[in-house]
Amino acid sequence: MISENLKTFLSDEVMAKAPVSEPERQRYFIERLKGFYSAEGGAGLKSCIVTFGCQMNARDSEKLDGILSTIGFKPEEDEQSADIVLFNTCTIRENANEHLYGRLGRLKQVKRSDPDRIIGICGCMMQEADEIETIKKKYPYVDIIFGTHNFHTFPELLFKLLRKREGIMDPIPYEGSGLVADSSEDALRQEKLLRYGSGKKELDKLNRKPIVSVWTDSSNIVEELPSRRKFPFKQGINIMFGCNNFCSYCIVPYVRGREKSRRPEDIYEEIKRSAAEGVKEIMLLGQNVNSYDGGIRFPELLKNIDGITKGSGIERIRFMTSHPKDLSDELIDVMAGGERICRQFHLPMQSGSDAILKRMNRHYDKHAFMEKADKLKSAMPDISLSTDIIVGFPGETERDFEDTLDVVRYVRFDAAYTFIYSKRNGTPAASYTDQVDEALVKDRFDRLLELQNGIAHENLSRLTGTTGRVLFESISEYDDSLITGKLDSGVTVHAKGDISMIGEIHDVRLLECRGFYYIGEVIE
């Protein structure tokens, strides 16, 4: 229970004054929460955000972190000792889900000894109704659940959680086409419990049930809420959200919704602001940046961004991900002529087999993929190509797999992210009956890895003795006399240096190739 004075911060009157439009509404709750926590004497409040999944999730986490820091929370690495822990989840493969449950389980004791701690879960996995049910049943100590379409409403949900703990129920807000789940039944139950005079214990239990608010989609993009960058010198910039491609194995279109592109002006504004704050590298983010459509298309957007960043302090522009089917000659031209656009291209092939690519609904074949890779290389001979490959997609035969190896040998990627196919409920491929035998998949996976590792090492070792520009990002994990950074191509380099060089770009001579990274020497 909190004091009467503190309760006034959470009153119906405060609630009723909240603006209706966004982002003003969430900004209002951020301010009220700030007032509440400072009146509570919350100088030492600590928050921990645990992020799973891709760059899109990482960027969302920075936004959630920005909200929490504005309220007054300081970042804390250890989830066991934070006052609020948020898990930003991924569900791309089954092991991503298992990961979350492991971490949640470890918080059970902590929560038991300190029930006022707040545990929240958001992100892609929360867009799946059955996962929400599992959490409610098996992890009842979770406090807030929200999804990808309404993560900007987090301040409001946190405010409502604090009210609920005092027994004040609110209807759960939503917009758009519907709900995956909410907790409006709690208000009905409370009404019944109060009317029919049930015991205090039941009511207390109800007040401690999670606030759940997960939308199926959203009609607009909410801009202009605070964010706190994980690295002060580099930043992801969302240019679009969602995906319309429905590759038959992939859950993303179901959990991230349909494609929505941000307006170019909003993107430029954000980039200019970041530049003014000292950002050196930006990464334009989208599940398929090549289908960006904010009135102009991606090549033009990229060209404009290269233009506006001239002299701004931003020295590197990256983007991901590009779907091969939509990779245009125009984009290759813009890249080749760009001044700050990194010569790095992530081009996910998934498979080299025409039959499998067709079943995957990828809309290109082996030949077309190799042609795109050739075009990139002939326009930019120094380009670094990377890819994603799935092994063991349903129906994959030895011959299909040989086709994948063929493409890997032909294109000679600098890096390949290889995944064992994981069945995702609700996707078309989950109903295919010809799932591949596990031992066979494992064997193929190992063979692919061996081939690719050899190629990556050969490609990389050619750089020995050359000089490259490195943006230093951190102190080396293994040796604190070394600092670690990345070349334009994305390759990791360790070199002697000190903490003052972090966030700076230096010329580095590449001395020794060790597997997938270099030991270098700073020369300027």
The residues that touch ligand SF4, with contacts defined as CB under 6 A, are 243, 245-247, 250, 252-253, 287-288, 323
Q: Select the residue whose beta carbon is closest to ligand F3S and give its number.
A: 53
- Residue 484 as a binder of ligand SAH (CB under 6 A): the answer is no
In whole angstroms, the minimum distance from the beta carbon of 253 to ligand SF4 comes to: 5
Instruction: Select 255 or 376, whichever has its Cβ closest to ligand SF4.
Output: 255
**Torsion angle in degrees (nearest 10) through CA of 371, 373, 376, 377:** -100
CA dist., res. 113 & res. 96, Å (int) = 28
For position 242 contacting ligand F3S by CB under 6 A, the verdict is no
Written as six digits, the tokens of 307 are 């233009």
Q: Does 489 bind ligand SAH (CB under 6 A)?
A: no
Our CA angle for 427, 428, 433, nearest 5°, is: 115
Integer Cα distance of 463 and 493 in angstroms: 12
**10 Å Cβ neighbour count for 270?**
19
Stretch touching ligand F3S by CB under 6 A, among 102-110, 249-257, 276-284, 303-311: 249-257
- Report how far Cα 86 is from the mean position of its chain's Cα atoms: 14
Q: Which residues in 91-130 contact ligand F3S (CB under 6 A)?
A: 91-92, 124
Report the partner that residue 421 touches, choosing among ligand SAH, ligand F3S, ligand SF4, none (CB closer than 5 to 8 A by kind). ligand SAH
The whole-angstrom separation of Cα 120 and Cα 125 is 13
Decide: is 250 part of the binding site for ligand SAH (CB under 6 A).
Answer: yes
Helices within 89-199 (DSSP H only): 94-105, 108-113, 129-138, 154-165, 184-195
Total residues contacting ligand F3S by CB under 6 A comes to 11
For ligand SAH, what does the binding mask look like between residues 274 and 303, x meaning CB under 6 A? -------------xx---------------
Question: Distance (Å, rounded) from C-alpha 332 to C-alpha 40?
Answer: 56
Considering the rule CB under 6 A, would residue 238 count as an interface residue with ligand SAH? Answer: no
Instruction: Spell out, one character per residue from 200 to 219, where the chain touches ligand SAH: x when CB under 6 A holds, - when not.
Output: --------------------
CB contact at 8 A, 407 and 379: no
Residue 53 interacts, among ligand SAH, ligand SF4, ligand F3S, none and using kind-specific CB cut-offs from 5 to 8 Å, with ligand F3S
Identify the H or E element spanning 142.
none
Residue 250: name the closest of 310, 199, 337, 323 by CA. Answer: 323
Among 59, 152, 165, 256, the residue binding ligand F3S under the rule CB under 6 A is 256
Q: Which does 253 bind (CB under 5 to 8 A by kind): ligand SAH, ligand SF4, ligand F3S, none?
A: ligand SF4
Dist. CA 292–CA 25, nearest whole Å: 29
